[in-house]
Amino acid sequence: MGSVSAESNAKLMEEPMKSLSELAAIYERWANANEATAEEILSRLDSLPAKIQEQQRWRASHVKAEAAALKIRAKELRSLDGGMVEIVRNSSKVPQDC
């Protein structure tokens, strides 16, 4: 039995596909949220026992690493999106007869 219901699958099929730049913006928002989460974790360290501080530092570093990876992916998507625009521009040019 699948985990996606027919109703949610139908809803998914109705939603328009996101552009690469829209996906890049989503990745950037996620990265910013991850960075804020990591900063929040680090700001609360002083109130925790030493062992928990160590665990939270580890958690914050992983959340920051994930944010960095998301930003890299967003940049790649924007680059791809720019390349796609260039391809479309170039393909709209009609070669001249010789």
Domain coordinates in residue numbering, the chain: 19-90
DSSP label at 3? S
In this structure, what token pair is assigned to residue 58? 């580890």
Q: What is the pLDDT of residues 43-64, one digit of tens each?
A: 999 999 999 999 999 999 999 9
Q: What is the pLDDT of residues 67-87, one digit of tens each?
A: 999 999 999 999 887 766 555
Q: What is the pLDDT of residues 12-40, one digit of tens each?
A: 667 787 888 999 999 999 999 999 999 99
Taking the whole predicted model, whether its pTM rises above 0.85 is answered as: no
pLDDT computed for residue 48 by the predictor: 94
* CA torsion, ordered 51, 52, 58, 60, to nearest 10 deg: -150
